[in-house]
Amino acid sequence: MPFPTENNYTSTNNTTTSTKQTTQQPQPQHEWVTSDSTTTTTTTTTTATTNNNNTHVALRTTGQPLLSKSDISIILNAAKAFRNNNRKTTTSTRFTMQYAGNSDLHVADLVSMQPSLQPILEKLLHNQIYPLVRSAFLLPHDDDANNDPQPPLCVYDALIVRYDGQAAANSGRDKGASLPLHRDGGLFTVNIALQGDGNGGTLFDNLITSSTKHTASHHDDDIIERAIVHPLSPGHAVAHRSTERHAGAPTKPGEAIREILVFFITLRETLPTTPITLQHQQQSNNPGTIHIMGNPTQYATLAGIERAFYLKEIAAQQSKSPAAADNTGTSQTCYQWALAQNPSDGEALFWVGYFQVQRARAAHDRMVGKEDDNQHMATVTKHVLRIWRDFDHGIQALETVANRLDPCNIRSLAFLGSAYSWRWCFAQECHPQQFGLRQDVELGKAAAVLQRAVRLEELLQGIIVQSEEQLFRATLLDQLAEILLIQGKVGQAADCVEKARS
């Protein structure tokens, strides 16, 4: 790998600010983009402004660019030469899906072709990227009286991603070149602009949520624009935690080609690890951990965040394999393990809730099939209670995902909507009073989450490349129409059906 690990991080105690600064370099300046207001707060020092709501979504560097114009052109020329030499063999990555108009290449491959890039990257990492990540995301530890080095930062992968809006349009993607919503591997992502005219940008889920909350009257395009973070100019960076769900916003046809250099940063754990705490998350008393918001009993370590990421990858591969049906158990277990590693992982919690609800449905179906069996009453009751518990726990998990951990995930919202109606159908057959459910409340909840999903789908329509997106949209609207009909809202149901057909 051409990427050096961070030099041993030793710090000097500065009690007045309770932060410690490296003696090597001035810290790169940055400002935060926060989700409580869509304006930015300037944080040019390393002061840890602990924030209980974890509203610090992404940062943008200010001051001097991280890369000079001449270094940018050396990198761009090398990337161009690499693409010309490898027209048919562009390496695709796990995180960056390949679409018309997009291309990406591994920086490691680029350096193999042109070793003169090595010193540029080394300088960039040592002088800019590592100090930035350390000062912005990691709190200095308190017990370093012995000047023990903290685990050094290192690069887990690095890419150059290129968005060509015109090429995308020529292949039928008329909204341009973009990347779907995703999370990255590693712990932190630093995304440096190489070229572009301020077009595209990085779109963050957590900024959409706040925009829809605070600016309900805004035009859809405005809401989306406010959720996109742009670097100040070429050479400047946008950085975020890898767990922050984000997308490559479209570079539209006619706009300048956008190219970015993305570093996925993690911590090397081979050194004796002293406690690490993340900035901008409520701190726990438990060293080496971060506090999971809203749930004081659950903690994730930084290592846990990464392990959860890999476990989810394994789970997803299991369900894609030809023996997928046989692998459901493994897949389910991997998601449970992922959640144990990182209890705030909304994606893992979604799948745990999903499997629980599906188990309840399957058991409900089997129960319906056996209605005529002359079963002992006690067995039936036990069975009913087990199904109820699965529905209930599954739905609770999905509600946490929808309301707190992953509020912009259309698929989770859509599934939660269905889960409410399946649970209602089940309860109805087994005397709803015994479970304390009321039809108007249950269907009201189902309609509300489905409406939220439809709203998000409309906002993101065409912007984020998603396979089968039209099909999904139609299913979502049909589901909503069905519930609205039962609620007696015939006009609204008809609107949904019409929308589904358009």
Q: Which residues bind ligand AKG (CB under 6 A)?
A: 95-96, 159, 161, 179, 184, 191, 200, 202, 246, 248, 260, 262
Residue 191 binding partner per list Fe ion, ligand AKG, none, with a CB distance cut-off of 5 to 8 Å that depends on partner kind: ligand AKG
Q: CB-wise, 177 or 303, nearer to ligand AKG? A: 177
Nearest to 140 by CA among 38, 273, 242, 279: 279
Residue 96 binding partner per list ligand AKG, Fe ion, none, with a CB distance cut-off of 5 to 8 Å that depends on partner kind: ligand AKG
CA 500 to chain centroid, in Å, comes to: 28
User: Residue 381: phi, psi to the nearest 5?
Assistant: -60, -40
List the alpha helices (DSSP H) in 405-489.
410-429, 439-460, 469-486
Residue 158 binding partner per list Fe ion, ligand AKG, none, with a CB distance cut-off of 5 to 8 Å that depends on partner kind: none
Q: CB-wise, 104 or 457, nearer to ligand AKG? A: 104
What is the nearest approach in angstroms of ligand AKG to the Cβ of residue 111? 18
Q: CB-wise, 164 or 390, nearer to ligand AKG? A: 164
What is the nearest approach in angstroms of Fe ion to the Cβ of residue 95? 6
Residue 235 binding partner per list Fe ion, ligand AKG, none, with a CB distance cut-off of 5 to 8 Å that depends on partner kind: none
Could you please report the per-residue DSSP string of 277-298?
Answer: EETTSPPPSSTT-EEPTT-TT-
CA–CA dist 291, 60 (Å, integer): 25
Q: CB-wise, 240 or 361, nearer to ligand AKG? A: 240
The contacts of residue 183 (CB under 8 Å, 6+ apart) are 242, 243, 244, 245, 246, 309, 347
Residue 292 binding partner per list Fe ion, ligand AKG, none, with a CB distance cut-off of 5 to 8 Å that depends on partner kind: none
Q: In this structure, what token pair is assigned to residue 181?
A: 């919503």
The contacts of residue 148 (CB under 8 Å, 6+ apart) are 272, 274
User: Residue 379: phi, psi to the nearest 5?
Assistant: -65, -45
CA 502 to chain centroid, in Å, comes to: 30
CA 427 to chain centroid, in Å, comes to: 34
Residue 260 binding partner per list ligand AKG, Fe ion, none, with a CB distance cut-off of 5 to 8 Å that depends on partner kind: ligand AKG
CA–CA dist 104, 79 (Å, integer): 9
Q: CB-wise, 153 or 179, nearer to ligand AKG? A: 179
What is the nearest approach in angstroms of ligand AKG to the Cβ of residue 151? 23
Q: Using DSSP, state whether 407 is helix, strand or coil.
A: coil
What is the nearest approach in angstroms of ligand AKG to the Cβ of residue 82? 17
Amino acid at position 348, single letter: A
Q: CB-wise, 451 or 466, nearer to Fe ion? A: 466
CA–CA dist 113, 110 (Å, integer): 5
CA–CA dist 430, 438 (Å, integer): 13
Residue 159 binding partner per list ligand AKG, Fe ion, none, with a CB distance cut-off of 5 to 8 Å that depends on partner kind: ligand AKG
What is the nearest approach in angstroms of ligand AKG to the Cβ of residue 500? 31
What is the nearest approach in angstroms of ligand AKG to the Cβ of residue 262? 4
Q: In whole angstroms, how large is the CA radius of gyration of the chain?
A: 25
What is the nearest approach in angstroms of Fe ion to the Cβ of residue 57? 14
Residue 5 binding partner per list ligand AKG, Fe ion, none, with a CB distance cut-off of 5 to 8 Å that depends on partner kind: none
Q: CB-wise, 96 or 211, nearer to ligand AKG? A: 96
CA–CA dist 157, 262 (Å, integer): 8
Residue 196 binding partner per list ligand AKG, Fe ion, none, with a CB distance cut-off of 5 to 8 Å that depends on partner kind: none
Phi-psi region of 475 (alpha: psi -120 to 50; beta: other; left: phi over 0): alpha
Residue 248 binding partner per list ligand AKG, Fe ion, none, with a CB distance cut-off of 5 to 8 Å that depends on partner kind: ligand AKG
Residue 243 binding partner per list ligand AKG, Fe ion, none, with a CB distance cut-off of 5 to 8 Å that depends on partner kind: none
Q: CB-wise, 202 or 412, nearer to ligand AKG? A: 202
Q: CB-wise, 169 or 179, nearer to Fe ion? A: 179
Q: Minimal CB distance to Fe ion: which residue?
A: 184
Q: CB-wise, 184 or 259, nearer to Fe ion? A: 184
CA–CA dist 102, 371 (Å, integer): 55
The contacts of residue 164 (CB under 8 Å, 6+ apart) are 101, 102, 103, 177, 251, 257
Q: Minimal CB distance to ligand AKG: which residue?
A: 248
Contact positions vs Fe ion (CB under 5 A)? 184
What is the nearest approach in angstroms of Fe ion to the Cβ of residue 274? 29
Q: CB-wise, 230 or 280, nearer to ligand AKG? A: 230
What is the nearest approach in angstroms of ligand AKG to the Cβ of residue 37? 22
Instruction: Name residue, tokens 């490691």.
Output: 108
Phi-psi region of 186 (alpha: psi -120 to 50; beta: other; left: phi over 0): left
Beta bridge partners of 190: 239, 263
Instruction: Name residue, tokens 């030499």.
Output: 85
What is the nearest approach in angstroms of Fe ion to the Cβ of residue 372? 54
What is the nearest approach in angstroms of Fe ion to the Cβ of residue 215? 25
